Amino acid sequence: MIIRLAVRSLVTRPMRSAVLSIGFGLSIAVMAELLGVGEVILEQAHSPALAGGGDVVLSGGIGPLEGARYVLTSVLGSPAFASRVAAASPSRRGTLYLLSANANGPVTVRGGIPSREQAVGDPEVAGQADWKDEPRDRGWTNPEPGDLLRAMDRFHPAPAGASVGALAAAKLGEGTTNVGGWAEWLYFNARSADGGQRFYLTFMTGAPDAAGVRPASVRLQLNRGGTTTNYAARATVSDREVLDRAPDIDVAGNSVRLAGDGTYTITLDLPAEGGLKPLTGALRLTPQVGRSVPPATIHGARGWLSGYVVPVLSGAFTGVLHAGAEAVVVDGMAGYHDHNWGYWQGVRWQWGQVADGAISIVYGRVFPPADVADPGRVPGFLGVIGADGPIAFSTDVSIREDDANGRPRTVTIESHSRRLEMRLRLDVAESVQTSMGLTRDASGAMTFLQLGGVYQVTGRAAGREINFSGRGSAETFRSNAP
């Protein structure tokens, strides 16, 4: 029928049909030309030469590359890559608004490190004798371990409109009116070699109020021989001080300090829950150099976000805790430290980590509220880091929990990436539960489970066979709804 109509139209009105045919042909040709030009422009925009010299451009998959200093030092500068990288230079673009008597308007600008840009052959600075590194540039060219960790472990400004409420109470398992649940916290955990002694420690802050004051809390869960004792304190902290000094932080007589050599010193003075005697003491976390996971942020609708970084994937705790008259000696306990920020109302997650001397492994998955992102489409991740730096990373990851009496009995994690085929199985031996008001959803507060046990790890990472068993940690949630 269509062909018959076209033939009749051509016979009865040949001139009009010819003009229309030519018009359609020209339109298609122009569109094809524009698409071709656009593709060339896009390729040129990603050209290493346009970005400032060099042969390869590294960028984030969905925006700026977070943790660029870590990538330079612990990835490109690691033994696995250092001999293969002639030079590397960080670069950041931005918009500068020029205001003058003669002209106003935006100007695209780019910042970098002079010596690094010259090393990669940036033509813009070649031969510029006055373009030299300043003292602050040495934080990029030759950073101290503590400076590198401090850049990763900084706190973040709460977004405009982030709700204010009793975040400390929420973390302690009490009720909360903090709709939206903005919070940011430092988390530490440690375990003895036999798994008989553990602790979980959190320094948490919420969103600031109109006066620039954040609610804050410190919580320690000390597990000895299967018995858990909880210690906690609440206070307020200055938003400005947190942003300027963190991870150095002071809350109700408790503190965290990061030294230039990368060690964390923690002092504690915490009342016990349930009328028991308070706990005091000092701890020191010494990290294994290079065992970190750089910052990553997941974004959802209406400004929702969830951020995560692991400054210390593997380290050792030492110190003494005084629980009343009893001294708890912390001597070489395996240690871990991460850092979280974002909106947490209606959020849950699965997470775990294990280390075995030369290998450190971390995995996880975040389940956001359904009204900001589809929880089923947010992938899990699994990362493997060795003594010489990162080995492999995968987002093709499944995490399965098998329950007994409503609590996880085993957790199985599998990665099916071409570069990372691995299976982890955690046999749960310890479980500490907390009613988590911070992450409450329509059904109410959820039960937060901190798990411990032995992982069996088998697989291949970047062509390397990995097979070991070791004690590790995990986290998950269970609903309190009947």
Q: Whose CA is closest to 254, among 183, 188, 178?
A: 188
- Give the pLDDT score at 208: 93
Q: Which residues pair with 394 in a beta bridge?
A: 382
- Give the pLDDT score at 130: 79
Identify the structural domains of the chain with CATH numbers, from first to last: 52-143 (no CATH), 153-343 (2.40.370.10), 346-482 (2.40.160)
Is 221 in contact with 237 (CB distance < 8 Å)? no
Confidence band (pLDDT; 50, 70, 90) for 354? Answer: very high
Q: Is the pTM of this model over 0.75?
A: yes
- Give the pLDDT score at 359: 93
pLDDT tens-digit series, residues 306-316: 999 999 999 99
What are the start-end ranges of the H helices in 231-387?
239-245
pLDDT tens-digit series, residues 76-129: 666 666 777 767 777 777 888 888 777 788 888 878 888 878 777 777 777 777
Q: Whose CA is closest to 218, among 262, 257, 176, 167?
A: 167
pLDDT tens-digit series, residues 399-439: 999 999 889 999 999 999 989 999 999 999 999 888 877 77
- Please report, as a single letter, which amino acid is at residue 315: G
Region 201-226: mean pLDDT is 93
Confidence band (pLDDT; 50, 70, 90) for 285? Answer: very high
Q: Whose CA is closest to 294, among 314, 276, 313?
A: 313
Token pair belonging to 42 = 């896009």
Q: Whose CA is closest to 204, among 245, 232, 171?
A: 171
Least confident piece of the model among 81-95, 259-273, 364-378:
81-95
Confidence band (pLDDT; 50, 70, 90) for 390? Answer: confident
